[in-house]
């Protein structure tokens, strides 16, 4: 028989490992749930510990609601302008409904899109400003991947 007093087992303390922040402002994500499921978006602000109204980790995101359509060289200019329009959305989304990508997009939206800009009277104006910023990004030719529809 073994003497259990001799063999005292020490309980190991669990080490707390901090996860690196990867859902940071500027990160391109794909929305997984809701009206904009499958649409690409950019994180403007992230709330890891939540807020008073939303007590879970979430992010303030802006993205492309309606993607630009295909353009051919033989099309007249006014048709090209119409087809390259972008429609934007602004939303607060739970982290579990976002899928991060390896891409990042540097958009100057920190001062424009705030939690206060989501209030009923201000949301429409904010969306227009975001649309102009996204439109300029599209016409500059940078980050073409962001403005193409996901095919799956």
Helix, strand or coil, per DSSP, at residue 146: helix
Q: What is the pTM of this model?
A: 0.80
- Look at residue 70 in the predicted model and tell me its pLDDT: 92
Measured CA to CA, the distance from residue 73 to residue 132 in angstroms comes to 24
pLDDT tens per residue, the chain (152 residues)?
Answer: 555 555 556 566 666 666 667 788 999 999 999 999 999 999 999 988 877 888 888 999 999 999 999 999 999 999 999 999 999 999 999 999 999 999 998 888 888 888 888 888 899 999 999 999 999 999 898 888 899 998 87
Contacts 24+ apart (CB under 8 A), 138-142: 138/68, 138/84, 138/86, 139/84
Q: What whole-number distance in Å separates Cα of residue 59 and Cα of residue 1?
A: 60
Q: So what's the pLDDT on residue 7?
A: 57
pLDDT at 2: 56
> What is the pLDDT at residue 64?
93
**Residue in the structure block whose two tokens are 């929305």:** 31
């Amino acid at each position: 028989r073994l003497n259990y007093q001799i063999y005292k087992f020490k309980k190991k303390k669990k080490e707390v490992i901090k996860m690196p922040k990867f859902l940071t402002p500027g990160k391109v994500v794909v929305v997984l749930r809701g009206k904009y499921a499958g649409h690409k978006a950019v994180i403007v602000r992230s709330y890891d510990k939540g807020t008073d109204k939303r007590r879970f980790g979430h992010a303030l995101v802006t993205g492309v609601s309606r993607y630009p359509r295909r353009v051919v060289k033989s099309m007249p200019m006014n048709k090209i302008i119409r087809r390259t329009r972008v429609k934007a959305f602004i939303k607060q989304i739970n982290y579990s409904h976002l899928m991060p990508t390896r891409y990042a997009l540097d958009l100057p939206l920190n001062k424009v899109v705030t939690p206060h800009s989501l209030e009923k009277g201000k949301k429409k104006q904010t969306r227009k400003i975001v649309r102009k910023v996204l439109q300029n990004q599209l016409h500059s030719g940078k980050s073409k991947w962001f403005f193409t529809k996901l095919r799956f």
